[in-house]
């Protein structure tokens, strides 16, 4: 299972440039005018994970297959999108289809690149986009909540649940706050909340797009964005789309040298992915053998049969048990055989909660 992140922001903040760099393609036309991205471009990238390379080296795997991440480059938003201004309806529809929002904010000054508001203020830019999303959710819930309350008064249990869950979200939106702050812990309430597909319920990662000189330490603009993210429990990272563009096409050794010269220890892609994983509560497990070493993704809290289902639905349906070795034990002991001899290979059943880094082999019967 990969996950799908929608790259959003105002026009000319560097969305398409970042998308091109992250996916190492030129699929999205990066141009200095609004709406250059008319249809959402989707790029698949492998999630870099040094653990996978170590496992493959120990097992002598012929192939290495990372788990996949999808980036969707969505057209720039302008004020009035919630009422259909610009490409508003399409923009909002495209956001509804992603798992998380990667909100690119312009944190650099460049007189050659036009800004729709003729000023550089990333916090204001973030609020512009979020306001349009909140207005869209508000319009939706102001119709749905009264209808649910009416049915609830007639004794409809599902409607009563919906009225309570969505009513709390509506109160937040009326107070100028995103619906994600009303995300419930209760399983049944969460089901209703997720089914509502509210735009402001999606987790947000702020990506501060800076000039090359600020890539390592940030600047005054990024400080303001990080303060906003902290206040609302969101994540933020600093990326230079210009640097990421230069990295495209470089050999691995060249990349390392280039990054070191810029005062960086990793690419922007690595930072975005790590934050994205944290944002969506995802973990990685591995399958390792002589033919291939492969990474798979599940949500935290997934049980062994769900992990098996990521490989094939038959494995989940006929699940018997999972032979499991912790990543640290596999590496420290030098592989499956040594781990088994040391008593580190565990037989786990249907209730086992998958841990990040587990090396797993599934027994099943269909």
- Per-residue pLDDT of 122-157, as tens digits, reads 999 999 888 888 988 998 999 999 999 999 999 999
CA pair distance 356, 51, nearest whole angstrom: 11
199 in helix, strand or coil?
helix
> What's residue 247's pLDDT?
85
210 marked among binding-site residues: no
More confident residue, 116 or 38: 116
CA pair distance 46, 122, nearest whole angstrom: 29
Q: Is the predicted pLDDT of residue 163 greater than 90, yes or no?
A: yes
Tokens of 308: 């098996």
16 marked among binding-site residues: yes
Q: Of all residues in the chain, what percent carry a pLDDT higher than 90? A: 52
Query: Which residues are within 8 A (CB) of 286 and not within 5 positions of it... i.e. 6 or more apart?
Result: 51, 52, 55, 293, 294, 295, 296, 327, 357, 358, 359, 360
12 marked among binding-site residues: yes
> What's residue 123's pLDDT?
94
pLDDT band at 89 (very low <50, low <70, confident <90, very high): low
- The pair phi, psi for residue 322, each rounded to 5°, is -120, 125
Cα separations in angstroms, 295 against 69, 265, 274:
12, 23, 15
> What's residue 8's pLDDT?
87
> What's residue 79's pLDDT?
55
pLDDT band at 305 (very low <50, low <70, confident <90, very high): very high
pTM value is 0.80
Instruction: Give mean pLDDT, residues 320-326.
Output: 97
Tokens of 256: 């390392």
Rounded to a whole number of angstroms, the distance between the first and last alpha carbons of the chain is 22
176-193: b or e for each residue (b if 16 or more CB lie within 10 Å)? Answer: ebbbbebbbeeeebeebb
Domains of the chain and CATH, by start: 4-50+63-120+204-279 (3.40.50.300), 132-200 (1.10.150.300), 301-364 (3.10.20.30)
What is 134-195 written as a DSSP string?
HHHHHHHHHHHHHHHHHHHHTT-HHHHHHHHHHHHHHHHHHTT--GGGG--SSHHHHHHHHH
Is-contact 347 321, C-beta < 8 A? yes
Q: Is the predicted pLDDT of residue 256 greater than 70, yes or no?
A: yes
Q: Is the predicted pLDDT of residue 185 greater than 70, yes or no?
A: yes
Instruction: Give mean pLDDT, residues 221-236.
Output: 91
Tokens of 12: 């000319």
More confident residue, 271 or 165: 165
Query: Which residues, listed in sequence order, are joined to residue 360 by a DSSP beta bridge?
Result: 324
Instruction: Give mean pLDDT, residues 162-185.
Output: 92
176 marked among binding-site residues: no
> What's residue 309's pLDDT?
96
- CB burial of residue 14 (10 Å; 0-12, 13-18, 19+): buried
Q: Of all residues in the chain, what percent carry a pLDDT higher than 70? A: 88
- The pair phi, psi for residue 71, each rounded to 5°, is -110, 135
Is-contact 241 21, C-beta < 8 A? yes
Nearest CA to 111 out of 213, 12, 38, 245 is that of 12
H or E segment to which residue 230 belongs: helix 220-231
- CB burial of residue 9 (10 Å; 0-12, 13-18, 19+): buried
> What's residue 113's pLDDT?
66
Is-contact 27 94, C-beta < 8 A? no
13 marked among binding-site residues: yes
> What's residue 90's pLDDT?
63
Is-contact 360 323, C-beta < 8 A? yes
CA pair distance 112, 151, nearest whole angstrom: 57
DSSP state of 319: E
């Amino acid at each position: 299972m990969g996950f799908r992140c929608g790259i959003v922001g105002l026009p000319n903040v560097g969305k398409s440039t970042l998308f091109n760099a992250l996916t190492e393609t030129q699929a999205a036309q990066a141009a200095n005018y609004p709406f250059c991205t008319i249809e959402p471009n989707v790029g698949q990238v492998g999630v870099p994970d040094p653990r996978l390379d170590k496992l493959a080296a120990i097992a002598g795997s012929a192939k290495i297959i990372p788990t996949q991440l999808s980036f969707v480059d969505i057209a720039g938003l302008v004020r009035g999108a919630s009422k259909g201004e610009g490409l508003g309806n399409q923009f909002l529809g495209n956001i509804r289809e992603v798992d998380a929002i990667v909100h690119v904010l312009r944190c650099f000054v460049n007189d050659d690149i036009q800004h729709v508001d003729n000023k550089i203020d990333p916090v204001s830019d973030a609020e512009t986009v979020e306001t349009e999303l909140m207005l869209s959710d508000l319009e939706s819930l102001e119709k749905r909540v009264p209808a649910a309350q009416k049915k609830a008064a007639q004794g409809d249990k599902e409607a009563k649940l919906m009225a309570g869950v969505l009513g709390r979200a509506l109160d937040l939106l009326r107070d100028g706050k995103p619906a994600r702050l009303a995300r419930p812990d209760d399983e049944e309430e969460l089901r209703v909340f997720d089914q509502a597909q509210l735009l402001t319920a999606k987790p947000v990662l702020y990506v501060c797009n800076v000039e090359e000189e600020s890539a390592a330490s940030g600047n005054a603009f990024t400080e303001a964005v990080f303060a906003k993210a902290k206040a609302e429990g969101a994540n933020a990272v600093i990326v230079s789309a210009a640097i990421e563009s230069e990295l495209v096409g470089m050999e691995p050794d060249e990349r390392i040298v280039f990054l070191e010269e810029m005062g960086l220890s990793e690419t922007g892609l690595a930072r975005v992915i790590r934050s994205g994983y944290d944002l969506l509560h995802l973990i990685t497990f591995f399958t390792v053998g002589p033919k291939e070493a492969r990474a798979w993704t599940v949500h935290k809290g997934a049980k062994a049969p769900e992990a098996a289902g990521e490989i094939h639905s038959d494995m989940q349906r006929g699940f018997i048990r999972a032979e499991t070795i912790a990543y640290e034990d596999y590496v420290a002991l030098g592989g499956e055989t040594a781990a088994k001899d040391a008593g580190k290979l565990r037989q786990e059943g249907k209730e086992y909660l998958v841990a990040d880094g587990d090396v797993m082999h599934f027994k099943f019967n269909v």
